[in-house]
Amino acid sequence: MSRDQRRIVRELVDTHGQTYADEAGIRLKDTPQPLYRLLVLAHLLSARISASIALATARALNEAGLRDPRRMADAAWQERVDALGRGGYRRYDERTATQLGEAAGLLTERWGGDLRRLREEADGEVSEVRRLLQEFPGVGPTGADIFLREAQLVWPEAAPYLDRKALQGAERLSLPGDPDRLLGLAGTTEPAVLAAALVRAAVDKDVSRDTLDRVG
């Protein structure tokens, strides 16, 4: 059974192992702008809206120049609404425009626009990072989990971070629900890549079906 499970994980990662940051065009590094863009992406993805729309909206905000907290906070509310609309994020555009402005203001005022300072305040404690992230308007537990799933690629103390949504993907593929066993099956795969692939299986039945069909 473990051999079949390894094949499932390999097929899943090989075919669907793109991080959401990468798909949104964010070249994730431990520097202020990519980390901020990841925070915005986590905010967008945490709403009850399709991932494809959230990703398109993250790209639209970037194209509008709203890629750092100072620019986001200084932008007119209507400018944020319009950028959200161009990405297709219309159901939540007005509320989200307000939240993005408020969150950018908080990040600028409290942490100088640099999420690494939030990380320093947490003194490397992942649970405290998760708590602090939820102080941003619009970022709840789900948004904090999304951020940490992706940020573990550049914040090693967060790894391995396989949250409840990733474990739901494992269940759908009849894989172990224990993170350590999943990591063992994944071998040298980056935990962030594994987590993204598992989440894709959790939110898209076609991903899990395609993966299992490939294994046969």
Residues in the chain, pLDDT under 50 = 1
pLDDT digit string, tens, across residues 66-109: 999 999 999 999 999 999 999 999 878 899 999 999 999 999 99
Close Cβ partners of 105 (under 8 Å, ≥ 6 residues apart)? 69, 73
pLDDT for the residue numbered 191: 97
For 74-85, what is each residue's pLDDT tens digit?
999 999 999 999
| Burial (CB count <10 Å: 0-12, 13-18, 19+), residue 94 | middle
CA 160 to chain centre: 14
pLDDT tens profile 195-204:
999 999 999 9
Cα(188)–Cα(163) distance, integer angstroms:
19
> What is the predicted pLDDT for the residue at 1?
47
pTM as predicted: 0.95
In the DSSP assignment, the letter for residue 158 is G
